[in-house]
Structure 1
Amino acid sequence: MRRKIAAALIASALPLVLAGSASAAGTSTTIGQTGPPSTDLGFRANLEFVSSAAAMPADGFVTDFQFESSSCPVNGTFDFQVLRPSSAGYTVIGHTGNQTDPCDSALHNYPVNIPVQQGDVLGVYVVSIWAGILPGGADSQVPYAAIPQPAVGDTFATTWTSSAYLVDEAATFTPLGFQSLIDESRGAGPGTSLADKASNAQAFYNADDTAQACGTLTAYINQVTALKPRISNATNLIQDARDVRNQIGCTV
């Protein structure tokens, strides 16, 4: 059978979102979808594909990307991305870098640590012809225009849209743990002191003052430690605050 080459730029089909494992920083979910790709469809080279419905449900982090390879005839190359929509188009805020499909019919995982905002979406830049289309969509060709590969920080505009294709791409999303920490802190310790500290740490982080957020979380941990005999969930609160510190990259 002649291999068909797809060229969709934006997919608006609904993504698969699965509940994942719980952690002190929040419950991870899978955004997007993976599965055995079609055996007779593939993406053209120099193509940017935006999965506009594979959107982040809240602020947090993407911690890895996944896809399922097939017994493909060509070892295609791709770059999985997180994109931020705007009136100017889409801005690349993080990516895996170029990866080559090993065509081994196995599931593959690429660890990353990309801070994301609610509404950011998944994308992929196809460097060379790649068998990354899942079965079940249309199998007709659509118009497209090749674009240079965008780097992190670059913004590109798209013209063509299509809901005909699903890309073999998923990402693990973990929400920021601030709200969970705030909720758990209510009623713990004297008055609202702990909940206030957790709220202040979140406010500093939202204002791009990570140093102050980290310092406030350290003060939170110290206060809970001092009050540990009087707080029934003190161990959980300390671990949750440490998890948030790790999430936002605190080093001191």
Structure 2
Amino acid sequence: MTAAAAPAGPVTTSDPAVRVQGVGFSVGGAVILADIDLTVDRGELLAVIGPNGAGKSTLVNMISGVARPTSGRILLDGTDVTRLSVRRRARAGMGRTFQTSSLFNGLSTVQNVCFAVQSAAPGPLNPFRRAGSRVVMQEALRLLDRVGMTARAAWPTAALSHGDKRKLELAVALARRPSLLLLDEPMAGVAMEDVPSLTRLIGELNRDGMTICMVEHHMHVVLGLADRIAVLHHGRLLAVGTPAEVTADPEVRRAYLGDVL
């Protein structure tokens, strides 16, 4: 049974950005995740790795609210958000990118970000809508500058490389000014020559104080960015530790790293 949402309490410095407590997820008797206990500390970059089918994207879906766990609970800044919708979690400070693009290819680069800025605070209290399109455009251009995409502001989104689309997705996610970013395989489909600049951008966001939980298969990216690594295998948490600890773990090497290092 899914845990009931607890009353919101004050955020203290002892609360991690995210706490996953005893989370499990089953579909038709098939266990996808089992008894996952994991934290993402404030300001940390936690990488989640593991073989295909290990449950990595499912875990991110549990945290972001795309799917609801069949057991356990998810806490954001000490508050139980297990039963909250994706929208309400976004308002509480979660941002998310997906393996596959969620951009509007029929719009320009800057129009995608303008749309995200306008939708970040819907309704009559939206300050950007009251201020008019000029302020929306200014904020969109600020976000594009943050991800290094100003020169492509007028480009059709469909004409962007996969690497530039990933940067644009980050700008869209940042429109809500999240405290936590969930990145699901940000390097998927990205040409090797674009990987270094995207890696630098993610690292800069983290150094600027953004808490990041990232699923990624490129181990050189993971080892260059992660403060800690969580390893999933067959839906269970196999190991959690620093990059040095995880890469030295014999069980982790047998289950996964022997194929990728």
Question: What TM-score do you get using the length of structure 1 for normalisation?
Answer: 0.20
Q: Which has the higher helix share?
A: 2
Please tell me whether Structure 1 or Structure 2 has the larger radius of gyration of its CA atoms.
1
Question: What TM-score do you get using the length of structure 2 for normalisation?
Answer: 0.20
